[in-house]
Structure 1
Amino acid sequence: MPTFRPAGLSDSDSDSDDYGFEKPARRYNPVQQQNVWRRTENILQDAIINGNLDEVKTIISNELKNNANAKLDSGWTPLMHACFHAQDKIVEYLLQQGADPNLHSDSVTPVMVACSNSSASNAAILNIFSSLVEKGCLLNIGDKYGQTPLMRAISSGRVEVVQKLIDCKVNIEMRDQQGWTALFWAVHHNQPEILEILIANGARLREVDKNSRTPLDIAHSHDHQTVIDVLNPHFKTGDNTDADVNVVNDISSWHDFYPGIEKGFKPNYASEIRHLLFGMSCERLAPLIHQSGIDLRTFLLLQANDMVKLGINMPFERHRLEVGLRNFHSKGWNLNSVAGLYAQKHSNYSVLDCLTTLGTHLQQIYILETTVQYALREYKKVQDQIKFEPPDSPILTKFKNTATKLLANINNIRGEMKIMKSILVKVTKKNPKPADLIKERSLQDVVLCYSKRAVVICSLGLAIRYLLPNLINK
C-alpha cells in the first residue's frame, strides 16, 4: 500500500522513521543503545501515565540531556506519549522545553495522537489541542492513510475538538485513501451531532468515495438510523441536484439518430455523454455535466481546468475522468465499426436502413474529428519531450503507426460516405418519401384541394344538366 507523508514535512528518507532529521554518528553498540532507549521510554511512559511531572522533568534532564525532541525506541517523542495519554500539564512543559509539535513518527503527529484519544476528559484534550495550535502545529495534514486530525477527532467522538478544528478553518473536504471526507467519517462512526456541525459549515453531502458510495449509502449499509434522519432532509423531493436526469431518450424513429434536427439544430450528441460517464465510473457527474449544457465535442476535449469550472472539485474525480477520456480517444477503430449498407451486401435497402446508417456515420465522423483535435493537443504537450528522440525511437514509431491507422479509419469512413451518397440518390429517384417525412397539409393546401374538387363536381353537374336531356331525347 503506498504511503503519503504529511504536508510540510520532510520525505527525503523514506526508509527511516526520522524522515529527514539528521542521525547522530554511532560510536556505541547499537544493541546496547537500543536497550537503553527502551528502558528510558518505559520509565518515561510510566511517569507520563501517572502524571508525574517532576519525574518527567528528571528524565528529560538526565536521561535525554534536555533533548525534548529525542526519538525513543518506538520512534515516538516524549510529546507524543504525553499527547496520547492526555497529560496536558506535561504537554505544556515539553512545549516550553522546545518540543516540536510537528515532529512525527511514521507520519503521525502529536495532534493526531491527541485527537485519537477517546477516553480522556474533554478538558484535557482541549487544553492539549490549544497548546499545540499555539505552538504552530499543522492541522491540514494526513497520515500515510490520509487520515487528518479532524477525522481522528470524529472517530473519537470529540465534538468540542471538531468545533475547535473548524474554527481554525481546517479543510473539511480533505480525503483519505478511500476517498472519504470528514463527513464520511461522521456517518461511518455514527456521530450525528458532529455530522450536523459539518453540514452547518458547508460540508458536501453528495460526494462519493472510490467505490462510488455516498455518505447516505454508508449510513444505510450500517443502519445508522439517527444519521439517516439527519441526512434525509437534505435529499427531499424537489431538491434535484442529484436527480437522475433523463437525458437519454429511447430510439423510436430515425430522428433520434440526428439529435436536434427536428428543431433545426446541428447534432451535438449531448445525450451520449451519460453513457460515457457510466463507462468511466463517473456517472455521479451526469447531472452536473447535463446542467452545464455542453455538447459531446466539448466533453471529449475537457481538461483539468475546464473540469474545475464545471464544478468537479475533487482531484481524484478529475483524474478518473481524464483517464477515461484518454482511454476513449486511444481506442482502436476498424472497418467493421463503421461499415454500413455496403458491407451488408443486400440488393434492396429500406429508407429507414439508409437514414439510420447515415446518422450513425455522421456521429462517428463527429467523434473522429474530436479525437484528431485531442491527439493534436496532446501531441503539442509532448512535442518538447520527443523532439530529441532518435529517428528509430519507439515513441516516434508508435506515433507514426497511430497516425497511419487514424488516416486509414478516416478514409474508410469517407469511402462509406460515397457509397451511402450513391444509394441515397437511387432511393430519392425511385422511391416515394417515407411516411414520417410527409408533412402535414397546411390550411392553404386543404382549401386548394377542396376547391379543385368543387370545380370538378360543378363541371359534372353542368354536364349532366345540359347533356343528359339531349342524350335521352336521342
Structure 2
Amino acid sequence: MAFHGPDYSSSEDEFDDPDFKELMRQQKLERLQLYNGNLTEKQQKEQNIKKIQNNVINRNNDEVLSVINIDINLDERLEDEWTLILLAASVANFDLVVELHKMGADINLKKGGDTILMCACNCPLSTASFEESSEVIKFLIDIGVDVTSKNRKRMNALMFAASNGNINAVELLLPLVDLTEEDNQNWDALFWAVYSGNAALVEFLIDKGLTFDRVDLKGSTPLDIAIDNNLKDVIELLMPEENKSEDLIIINNNFEDIFRDLKNGAKPLFTQDICNILHGTRCENLMKLFVDQGINLLDFLTLSEEEFAAMGVEMPFQRRRLVAGIHKFHKRPFHPSSVPVVGKDEPYSNVDVAAAVFSAIKQVVCMEAAFKYLVKNKDELDVINDKKVIEQTVCNIESKLIRLRKVAIKLQKKAVNWDDQIQPVNIITAKSGRRWFPWRKAVIVFGIVIVASVKLWKRPIPSII
C-alpha cells in the first residue's frame, strides 16, 4: 500500500551482460532508424518528453535546462501529470529542483492531488538515500511549501514520509504538523510507519507521543497491521509486555508454505485467515491454541460452542463470540467479484496464476465450510420454510459440488501435463514465451469452475439463517 514515485528506468539495467546490453542498444537504434523522418509531430513530442523525463531521473540537469522553452515549457505537464519540478522532487534531484525554482517553476502545482512536498517525501530508498530526499524536503519547507496540505485520501506529507520509512523527513516535518491527523481510513503517521516496517521510526513516533491503541475503519490497530505483514521487529515493539514470550507467532502466509507437504486429501490450513477472525472477535489470545492444534480454516468455520470448549476455549464469553463470528461469516453471501480473473489480452506471470489459484482454492474451501455448517446446524438454525425443501436444496448443491470436484481433479491432472509442455522463453528474439504457457488455459478453466460455484451458491435458497 505504500506509494512510490514513477520508475522510468530501462529494463536493461537489470542485466549485467554487456552483450545483451549491446543487443538492446542495436535494437533501439534500428527502431529509431526505421521511424526516422516518419514521426508525426505528436510522436516526436512524446519522444522528447520521454527523453527529458529520463534526463531528470538520471540527473542530466544541463540537458534538461537546455530544452526548457524549446522542447517543453517550464510548467508543462509530462506523462501522468508530472511537471519538471514535481518529477525532480520525487527522485531527490536537489540541484534541478533549486534551478527550476529560480527559473520560476510553480511549486503549487499538484500531481493527482499530491503536492510537491508529498512527492519528495515519497521518494523511495531504492531511488535516492533518505539524506538526499531530506535535502529536497528541507529546501521546499524553507521556500514556503504548504506542509499541512492533504491529498484526496486525506494524507499529508508526514504520512508519505512515514509510509516510506524516511525517519529523516519525519524529523523535519514533525514540529510543523498535527500528529493526531488521520487519513480517510483513520491511519495516522504511526500506522504508516508500522506499514513501512521501519521499527526505529515506529519507536521514534511513539516516543514523540503517538499512541498505538488507535483503531482504523476496519477495527485494526497498528499491532494488527504489523502481524498481518509479518513485521517481527515491529510486533516485538508493539506487543504488550505481558504477552511477550514464546507465544509470539509469526505466520508465513505464502503459496509455498500453505500448500507444501499437504498429504493426499488434506485441506490447507489458511492459518492467517483464522487469526483474522480471532482478531475480529477479540479473541487474539487464543491464536496459539488453534495454531498448536493445527486447525484448518474449513474445520474452524464449522465448530460449535461445545467443540470449542473441548479444544480448550475455557471462557464461555469467548466461545459465544467465536460462534457468533462464524455465524456472521456464513450469513455473508459469496459474490462473483471475489473470483480471480485474468483478462484475455492482459499480461500475466506465474505469480499472477499462483495468486488466482490461491484465491480460488480459498473460495472453494469457504463454500465447503458453509455447506457443512448448514448441514451440521440445520436443527438449531431459525428455519422459516419447510425443512424438507431446504434439505432437498442442500442435497442438490452437494451433488453439483461433487461434480465440480471431479472437474477440479481432472484439471489438476491436466495441469501436470501442461507443466511438462512449458518451454524456455527466448528473450533474444521477438518471439514470446506466452504461446508456450499452457497455464493460461488453467486460469480460464479454473475461473469457469469457480464462477459456476459462485453462481450455484447464489441460487435462491429458503432462508435458514
Which category of TM-score, normalised to the shorter sequence, fits these structures? 0.3 to 0.5
| TM score, norm. by length of structure 2 | 0.41
| TM score, norm. by length of structure 1 | 0.40
